[in-house]
Every structure is written in C-alpha cells, then in structure tokens.
Chains A and B, each alone.
Chain A
Amino acid sequence: MNVLKTASLLAVIALFVAALHPAALAQGVDSQMLLHPPADSWPSYHGDYSGRRHSALAQITPQNVKNLTLAWAFQTDQRAEIKSSPLLVDGILYFTVPDNIWAVDARSGHQIWHYNNPKDKGDHIGHRGVAMYKGYLFFLSPDAHLISLNSKDATVLWDITVADVAKGYWTTMAPLVVGNHVIVGVSGDLDNLPGYIRSIDPETGATQWQWNATPPAGTPKQATGGMTWMTGTYDPDLNLVYWGTGNPTPVLNGKTRPGDNLYTCAIVALNPDTGKLEWAFQVSPHDTHDWDAVQIPVLVDGDFHGEPKKMLMQASRNGYFVVLDRTNGKNLLTTAYGPLNWSLGVDKDGRPIPNPAKEPAPDGRLIAPDEGGLTNYRSPSFDTKNGLFIVDAHPSWSIYFAKPADGAYGWAGADYDVWGKGVIEAIDYQTGKIRWSHELGPRGSGAGVLTTDSGLTFTGDAMGNFLGLDSSDGKTLWHAGSGSRTQSSPITYELDGRQFVLTSSGGVMFAWTLPEGL
C-alpha cells in the first residue's frame, strides 16, 4: 500500500470518525453553535438564544420518566448554593458558585479542573454561570471583574474591571455571547448607582460599548438603579438583544425620584453591535417595591389571536405577565398571574399604573406580591408543544414601610414578608389564563423550569424534591428528594445516545437519565 493510498484511507477514516463524534473535533463554542445548539450541548445560560429553556429531546417521556435514575452527583463541597445554569460544550460541563468554577465530565460527573479565586470584596450573594466563546470561558467575579479563562485548564487570558466594587457594584450574572460581543450586566442596589450593560471584545477584553439604564448618581430628581443582573436573550433575524433592568434606587422611597424612572424595571431592546436602544417597555413604572424586571425575556414566534407574531414574554417580578411584539416593543397582553394589589390597572400602552396609596408608608402598607416577587430570577420555560408559559410563581403578601428618617439612600425603608407559597403555573400566553397549576409548598420554591418536546416539565418544590410533571396537566410523574432546596434552573442534553437532565440542590449537581445495562 503506497503512502498516498494510506494517507487517503486515514483521511477517510478521520472524516468518518469526525462525523460520528462531532464533539471530538469541536473547539469550544462558535457563532453557529450558539445559533443552532446541537443536542449534545448547552452552550449558553438559556441553552439557546430564545430563553425558552425548552428542549427538542424526547428520549425521556411521560411514560418512562418514572424510571429515571441517578447517573451521577457532583459535590462542590461549598457552603454556597448552586444558583448557576451549567454549560455543556464538547462533553464537559462548566458551572459555578461565587469565586469558583468547575469543569466536570458530563459522562461520569468527575472533576476535570476547579478554578478557585477567593475575593474579599464584593457581594457573594450568588453566581449564575459562565459564558463561552471559542475555547474561552467568561466569568464575572463578586468584585465586578470579567475574567477570560482557557476552558482546557482554567489559565487566565485576561482580567478586566467592569464596575467599581468600592462604589457598591458587584457581579453575579452569566454573560451573553452574541457574535463578537461578550455582553455583561452589573448588580448593586444597596447604593444609589446607575446600572448598565456593557459589551466587551472576547479576544482583548476591550469595551465595545456601554448602555446606561439611568443617569449618573446625583442627577436631580432622577432615579439611579436599573441593574442588569440577568442574562438577556437575542433575536438573530432582528439583530436585537433583549434585557431586563432592575429596580430604581433609592429602593423603597420614591419621593426623590418622581415620574416613571426610565429605564428601571424595563425590558429593553438593544443593537448588539452598537448598544443603541431600539425600544423599551417599562413593566413597573416608578417602582417602590424592589421589583426588578430582569426575569427572562422569552422569545416566541407564533400565533397571537390568529396573527403570526414575533413575541417576547415575561412573567415579571411585580406580578404581571406581559406579551410584547418584539419587533417594536408594542404591548399585546398584560395580565396578573397571581395576587397583586399595588396597581390601579393597566394604561392604554399595557403598562401597569402604580397606586400611590400602596407606596411604602410610615405605618405600613400590605402589599402583594412580597419583595421577592411573584417570580424571581430562575427561568420559566415556554412549552412550544402546548403553547404554555410555565413559571415558578410565588403568591405572597408582605408589609412595606418607609418614613423620612429612612432617608433617600440605598434601601430607604423596610419590608417584611408575611406569607407566601410556591405554585407552578402554566399560562396560556394568548389570554393569560392559568391552564393548570401545581402547588409546591409553603414559602415557595427556588427552582426554575425546563420543558421538553416529549411533554415533560422539570422543576422542584419548596421542600427539596425534584419534580417531573406532565406538561399537559401538571400531574407529578417523577420525583426525588434532594436534601436541600433547588436554586437553579434545570438543563438537558444528549450524550452517547442518552438523554440527561441536570438539576442542582444546595451545593450538589445531580445528573438523571434512564437506566441502561452495565
């Protein structure tokens, strides 16, 4: 056999092997993977750009889910709870708690590497995960640095500052990669600081653009705030990034910041190449209850009362479910999805009208929902099969106080939870009606929601059970006690022909799959 023949044969074999094992030759995440995530990946926080957290995988079904078994569990051995959504790229999972990243073999659950970079400064309240572009991870630290690390061995390529921790900023979110942009948001509502979104060059760490949610601190009669602490979504056809902004500051005292306080508590559409604002829809004008509108802006294409629409849906912390036309930000539906008592209704543009009598007061105001909101940062899911927006809701009541002595800086008041519970709600997106609901227990659950094409909804209850529900009626089909509460949103992927579902509770990551022979 001559050399040429041998080389040809080897090339053919190599191509054949590559076709069988696409991951074997992959080099991290590229734009195509983010636009069209393969079944054996979860390459970004939401799994894809839509934020639907819905998978086409259908090996685990309503019929066989009762057989689900533990593939492995990974112990972070940290006090911090896992609040991150893992990435899966080239067979390796990446997930975080503050100051820590783990690279874990998705087949076996064993650690490949552990990056630990303890920071004294910055709020360590939680961490939502990393982003990836080519072979590099992007990790935000509590002291508001963005760090680029080689995904092979966690060596640091660059480390830049995205906000000033000394002023009171910190960072927790998983960046969003769009084209040649790493888009990050910031946290910091304990001080009167403006929130912003910043785009960073993945290769160099240079700032490409910054969009400010609010004017600089000290601007008369203007709110600060509008923190941008959750990962947005992206429509490649419209080339728009959608992002939620947080509450205004001072938080509970609205007197020094009259008016709507744009762009706090809003959903904004930005051009990812320039940072230019295309439109904004304010979900909570003049908020005085800490109700960020950072909940996932979920992108859905479908019928709305007989007309095909490109929609954006958000179950917002303030208790309203909104559906927008995402081409222009015009409102299609605004409806309460649980008890709320702070608004006078909805204006002609679909924006809630805050009731001044329900602003925090010296002798207290009874308010629904509570400060944690009717939902919070964990992901909802849009079940494309049943046309349902499925969300971990938190019907709740609380009392809000503010008095002149509380001042006009930072929190500037006090509030206390009175009562709450958790309920999974399946919302018909065209009417806002609750198609089914599933009680989760007292106080509420911290679990996000994942749905699959086979008709399953994965989430968790208030007591620490992982749940697999029938997406058509919410009935429980599978459960497993986890020993702690879930604070993250599940993901799913297929590897070696097997579908896995990943759920976390406390500091442990669990991988579930159907049994197979040894």
Chain B
Amino acid sequence: MKSLGLVLRWRVLLILLLIGLAVSTAQTPTPSVPTQRAVKKSGTVARKSYPPALVQSGATLFRRDCSFCHGRDAGGGETGPDLTRSKLVTADVGGNKIGAVVRTGRPEKGMPRFDYSDQQIASLIAFIHTQKNNAPTKKGGRKGVDVADLQTGNVEAGKQYFEGAGGCASCHSPTGDLAGIASRYQGLELEEQMLYPKHAKSKVTVTPGSGETITGTLDYLDEFTVGLIDATGAYRSWRTRDVQYKVDPSLNAHVDLFDKYTDADIHNLMAYLQTLR
C-alpha cells in the first residue's frame, strides 16, 4: 500500500505539474494559450548559472549513469525523454523536483532509483539545468517533438476516421469524455494518449467460487494472482485458479488499431482531436 500511495501521490503531482506547467513550457506557441510567449520570455530571464566544476562533475556522473537513456547531452537517447525540454526539469528549482525523481526512480517507466549523495545530486542538477539553458542555441542533436511538427493532418479526414473506420466513436465522444481533450494534452503527449493511454486503469470483475461478484479497478494481474482496488479503496486479491475474472477489454481497441492505421490516419486524427479544446 505504501508504494501504491507513492505512485498515486506521484500521479497527482504529475497531473498538477502538467496542468500547471503546460502554460510555461510549451516550445511552440499555440493559439489556444495566448499567454505562453510572455511567460516563456520571463522564464528565460530567470536562468541560473552554475560553477563550471560542479557542472563538469555532474556531466561525468550523467554520462556514467543516465546517458544511455537520456543521451550524453541530456537531449534524450534510448527510451528516456529529452530532459532539456522536460516539464519536470523546467519546473525544477534547485533540484526540488529532479532530486526526488532521481532518488525515488520511476519504476513504472523503467527508471531505476539512484543512491546519490547530496553533492552528487547537486552536480547532476547543475549539469541538467546547464544543458537545458544551452539547448536552444545548440546545433544538431536531438530536438524532441514540437507541437508544430504534429500539424500535417486534415481535420475533416480525421473526423471521418473517428466516426467511421477507426471506430473511435463507439467508445468516445467529442462532447463527452473527449470534450476539451486538446486543452488537457498537447502535441506529443496528446498523440501518445490517443494511440494508447498508458496510465488508464481497466475495470475488472471477479467472481469467487462462493460469494458475490466484486467489481473494481484492476491493480495487479499475472498468471497466478488477480488484485483490484474495490469501491472502498481497499486492495483485494485472489488466486486466479480460485475465481473467474474478466478484465474490461475496452483498451484493447487501441491495440487492435495499430496494424490498421496508416500514418496519415494518425496525423488526421491528431488534427481532429486538436480541435476539441
């Protein structure tokens, strides 16, 4: 329960960050949020510089333990995001965000935790912030995905796909669950949510050999154990051999689309979803 609480706290924190920081971090102005440019400009002024020796020791540590996933220059590598445009890094002040992530890890995303000293953390933060500050003027290297990159689709074609071939309308509604989706998510994040909502939880129904059927949010499932969070918020589990259980298959509809999509379908669908502000 402790780790669950931690995960939930993280999720809440992240959601707050995403909502709170979308305003200050978008790299490309979008018509929906007219104040971005001004905020970004004022953010730029507040840059802090770090002692070169501290940055250098941070660079060494970063290259040792972080570069495989986040790239040597913190601009992203295998599996790990570009930290120079990370919302969390942007929100970080003197390590108050980064430090916790490094020390706790993000097991759900495959990031291990690191047992660093305060000095090591300080050097890492100095390096990451310096890389972030230098990123806009750096030539080449990974630049991440801008909102502007994802504007090649056709709204009308996307709407047709949504209502027709994609089958999206059988679960979703532009005036229901998706109303305002483009205000909650933008750019790459919206596209990732659209393709597969990684953090969505499935409903599960468990029927024990005797007693009543229990419905809850699926929390754990392997071949041997099924666990759910019930209506009271309590975790309950059973051996799979002792019960009948059924996981709501709705999310599979996203998976079923992967080998049907053309890239144009995805870009069109993105264009359409971006109209749902």
Q: A: which residues have CB within 8 A of B?
A: 79, 81, 119-125, 142, 168, 190-191, 290, 339, 341, 357, 361-366, 368, 371-372, 397, 399, 401, 403, 405-414, 416-419, 441, 443, 461-463, 465, 476, 479
Within 148-162 of B, Cβ neighbours of A (below 8 Å) are at 149-152
Chain A residues, Cβ within 8 Å of B212: none
Cα distance A479–B224 when bound, in Å? 9
Chain B residues, Cβ within 8 Å of A123: 63-64, 67-68
With A123-B67, A419-B254 as contacts: A363 and B149 at CB distance below 8 Å: yes
The 5 closest A-B pairs by CB, nearest first: A407-B140, A125-B68, A363-B152, A419-B196, A463-B222
Give the interface segment out of B31-39, B107-115, B169-177: B107-115
Judged by a CB distance under 8 angstroms, whether B191 is at the interface is: yes
CB pair A339 B259 closer than 8 Å: yes
- Secondary structure at the A interface, as helix, strand, loop or mixed, is loop
Which bracket fits the contact residues of B?
35 or more
With A190-B77, A362-B149 as contacts: A81 and B143 at CB distance below 8 Å: no
Chain B residues, Cβ within 8 Å of A413: 142
Sampled A-B contacts (11; CB under 8 Å): A120-B64, A123-B68, A168-B72, A362-B152, A364-B149, A364-B267, A397-B196, A399-B195, A411-B76, A461-B222, A479-B224
Chain A residues, Cβ within 8 Å of B113: 79
Number of residue pairs across A and B with beta carbons under 8 Å? 130
With both chains docked as a complex, state the minimum distance between the C-beta of A277 and any C-beta of chain B, in angstroms. 28
Q: CB < 8 Å: which of A372, A407, A414 contacts B82?
A: A414
Chain B residues, Cβ within 8 Å of A365: 263
Judged by a CB distance under 8 angstroms, whether B75 is at the interface is: yes
Q: B: which residues have CB within 8 A of A?
A: 60-61, 63-65, 67-68, 71-72, 75-79, 82, 110, 112-115, 139-145, 149-152, 188, 191-192, 195-196, 198, 220-224, 254-255, 258-259, 261, 263, 266-267
| Closest A residue, CB atoms, query B65 | A124
Cα distance A123–B71 when bound, in Å? 11
User: Which of B63, B110, B192, B267 has most chain A Cβ within 10 Å?
Assistant: B63
With A120-B60, A399-B195 as contacts: A417 and B142 at CB distance below 8 Å: no
Cα distance A403–B113 when bound, in Å? 32
| Closest A residue, CB atoms, query B75 | A411
User: Which of B113, B151, B222, B254 has most chain A Cβ within 10 Å?
Assistant: B222
Cα distance A254–B144 when bound, in Å? 17
Q: CB < 8 Å: which of B61, B149, B223, B259 contacts A461?
A: B223
CB pair B142 A190 closer than 8 Å: no
| Closest B residue, CB atoms, query A365 | B263
Cα distance A407–B76 when bound, in Å? 14
Q: CB < 8 Å: which of A190, A361, A363 contacts B72?
A: A190
Chain A residues, Cβ within 8 Å of B223: 461, 465, 476, 479
Cα distance A328–B115 when bound, in Å? 50
| Closest A residue, CB atoms, query B149 | A362
Cα distance A364–B141 when bound, in Å? 17
With A406-B142, A465-B224 as contacts: A418 and B263 at CB distance below 8 Å: no
Chain A residues, Cβ within 8 Å of B261: 366
With A124-B65, A416-B188 as contacts: A368 and B258 at CB distance below 8 Å: yes
CB pair A341 B145 closer than 8 Å: no
Cα distance A403–B141 when bound, in Å? 10
| Closest B residue, CB atoms, query A172 | B68
Cα distance A463–B218 when bound, in Å? 14
With A364-B263, A364-B266 as contacts: A410 and B72 at CB distance below 8 Å: yes
Q: CB < 8 Å: which of A357, A368, A403, A418 contacts B195?
A: A418
Q: CB < 8 Å: which of B71, B114, B222 contacts A190?
A: B71
| Closest B residue, CB atoms, query A190 | B72
With A366-B258, A401-B149, A403-B149 as contacts: A411 and B142 at CB distance below 8 Å: yes
Cα distance A191–B142 when bound, in Å? 12
CB pair A407 B72 closer than 8 Å: no
CB pair A121 B60 closer than 8 Å: yes
CB pair A417 B143 closer than 8 Å: no
CB pair B258 A408 closer than 8 Å: no
| Closest B residue, CB atoms, query A439 | B223
Q: CB < 8 Å: which of B112, B141, B144, B254 contacts A81?
A: B112
| Closest A residue, CB atoms, query B113 | A79
Chain B residues, Cβ within 8 Å of A411: 71, 75-77, 141-142
CB pair A191 B72 closer than 8 Å: yes
CB pair A414 B150 closer than 8 Å: no
CB pair A409 B140 closer than 8 Å: yes
CB pair B78 A371 closer than 8 Å: yes
With both chains docked as a complex, state the minimum distance between the C-beta of B137 and any C-beta of chain A, in angstroms. 13
Chain B residues, Cβ within 8 Å of A406: 140-143
With both chains docked as a complex, state the minimum distance between the C-beta of A404 and any C-beta of chain B, in angstroms. 9
Chain B residues, Cβ within 8 Å of A408: 140
Chain A residues, Cβ within 8 Å of B145: 364, 401, 414
CB pair B64 A407 closer than 8 Å: no
Chain A residues, Cβ within 8 Å of B254: 419
Q: CB < 8 Å: which of A290, A357, A465 contacts B222?
A: A465
CB pair B191 A403 closer than 8 Å: no
Cα distance A278–B276 when bound, in Å? 60
With A121-B60, A123-B68, A409-B141 as contacts: A419 and B76 at CB distance below 8 Å: no
CB pair A121 B64 closer than 8 Å: yes
Cα distance A479–B222 when bound, in Å? 11
Cα distance A59–B56 when bound, in Å? 56
Chain B residues, Cβ within 8 Å of A363: 149-152, 263, 267
CB pair B79 A372 closer than 8 Å: yes
CB pair A418 B192 closer than 8 Å: yes
Chain B residues, Cβ within 8 Å of A399: 191-192, 195
Chain B residues, Cβ within 8 Å of A341: 259
With both chains docked as a complex, state the minimum distance between the C-beta of A439 and any C-beta of chain B, in angstroms. 8
With both chains docked as a complex, state the minimum distance between the C-beta of A356 and any C-beta of chain B, in angstroms. 13
CB pair A366 B263 closer than 8 Å: yes
Cα distance A264–B44 when bound, in Å? 42
Cα distance A449–B112 when bound, in Å? 24
Chain A residues, Cβ within 8 Å of B266: 364, 366
With both chains docked as a complex, state the minimum distance between the C-beta of B4 and any C-beta of chain A, in angstroms. 15
With both chains docked as a complex, state the minimum distance between the C-beta of B184 and any C-beta of chain A, in angstroms. 19
Chain A residues, Cβ within 8 Å of B195: 366, 397, 399, 418-419
Chain B residues, Cβ within 8 Å of A417: 79
Chain B residues, Cβ within 8 Å of A125: 68
| Closest B residue, CB atoms, query A464 | B222
CB pair B150 A364 closer than 8 Å: yes
Chain A residues, Cβ within 8 Å of B149: 362-364, 401, 403
Q: CB < 8 Å: which of A190, A372, A403, A462 contacts B143?
A: A403
Chain B residues, Cβ within 8 Å of A407: 139-141
With both chains docked as a complex, state the minimum distance between the C-beta of A292 and any C-beta of chain B, in angstroms. 11
